[in-house]
Amino acid sequence: MIYDLFVIGGGPAGYVSAIRASQLGMRVAIAEEKFWGGTCTNVGCIPTKAWLASSELFDNVKRAKKFGISLENASIDMKRVKARTKRVILRNRKGIEFLLKKNDIDFFDSHATIKDTHKVKIGDKEMEFRNLLLSQGSHPIKFPPFDVEGILTSDEIFSIDEIPQRLLIVGGGVIGLEMATFFSAFDCKVTIVEIMDHVLPNMDSDVAETLTDTLKKRGVDIHVKTKTISVDKKVDEYKVVFEGEERFEKKFNKILLSVGRKPNVFDDVKDLGIDLDKKGNVLTDEYMRTNIENVYAAGDVNGKYMLAHVASKEGIVAAMNMIGKEEKIDYTAVPSVVFTTPEIATTGKIEDELKLKNIDYIKGIFPMSALGRARTLEVSDGFAKILTDKNGRILGLTVVGPMATEVLMEGVIAVQNGFDIEKLLKHIHPHPTISEIVMQCAEDASGMPIDK
DSSP string over 279-330: TSPBP--TTSB-SSTTEEE-GGGG-S---HHHHHHHHHHHHHHHTT--PPP-
Q: Is the residue at 147 inside a domain?
A: no
Q: Could you say which of 208, 243, 259 is where a domain stops?
A: 259
Map residue 219 onto helix, strand or coil.
coil
Contact between residue 385 and residue 441 where contact means Cβ atoms under 8 Å apart = yes
Please give the Cα distance from 257 to 240 (Å, whole number).
13
**pLDDT computed for residue 235 by the predictor:** 85
Which residues are identified as catalytic? 431
Q: 114 pLDDT band (50/70/90 cuts)?
A: very high
β-bridge pairing 237-243 and 247-252: antiparallel
* H or E, element range at 50: helix 45-62
The pLDDT > 90 percentage for the chain reads 97
The pLDDT tens digits of the residues spanning 404-438 come to 999 999 999 999 999 999 999 999 999 999 999 99
Positive or negative: CA dihedral 98, 102, 108, 112: negative
- Do 119 and 9 fall into the same domain? yes
pLDDT band at residue 73 using 50, 70 and 90 as cut-offs: confident
Give me the CATH number covering residue 439: 3.30.390.30
**132 belongs to a structural domain:** yes
Residues 202 and 317 placed together within one structural domain of the fold: no
Q: What is the pLDDT of residue 57?
A: 96
Question: Where would I find the beta strands (DSSP E) of 9-56?
Answer: 28-31
pLDDT bucket at 452, cuts 50 / 70 / 90: confident
254 and 267 together in one domain? no
The whole-chain average pLDDT of the chain stands at: 96
Q: What are the pLDDT digits (tens) for 269-283?
A: 999 999 999 999 999
Count how many domains the chain has.
Answer: 3
Question: What is the spatial distance between Cα 253 and Cα 169, in angstroms, rounded to a whole number?
Answer: 11
Give me the CATH number covering residue 55.
3.50.50.60
CA distance 78 to 247: 35
**Averaged pLDDT, 96-122:** 97
Same domain, 298 and 276: yes
Residue 236 — very low, low, confident or very high, per pLDDT cuts 50/70/90? confident
Task: Tell me how far the alpha carbon of residue 447 is from its chain's centroid.
Answer: 34
Cβ atoms within 10 Å of 355's Cβ, excluding its own: 12
Residue whose C-alpha is closest to residue 256's, from 220, 281, 280 = 220
Q: What is the mean pLDDT of residues 393-398?
A: 98
pLDDT tops 90 at residue 403: yes
What pLDDT sits at residue 72? 84
Residue range of the domain that includes 375: 336-446
pLDDT value, residue 444: 97
pLDDT at 198 over 90: yes
Whole-angstrom Cα distance, residue 283 to residue 303? 9
The answer to whether residues 125 and 271 belong to one domain is: yes
pTM here? 0.95
Average pLDDT over residues 127-154: 96
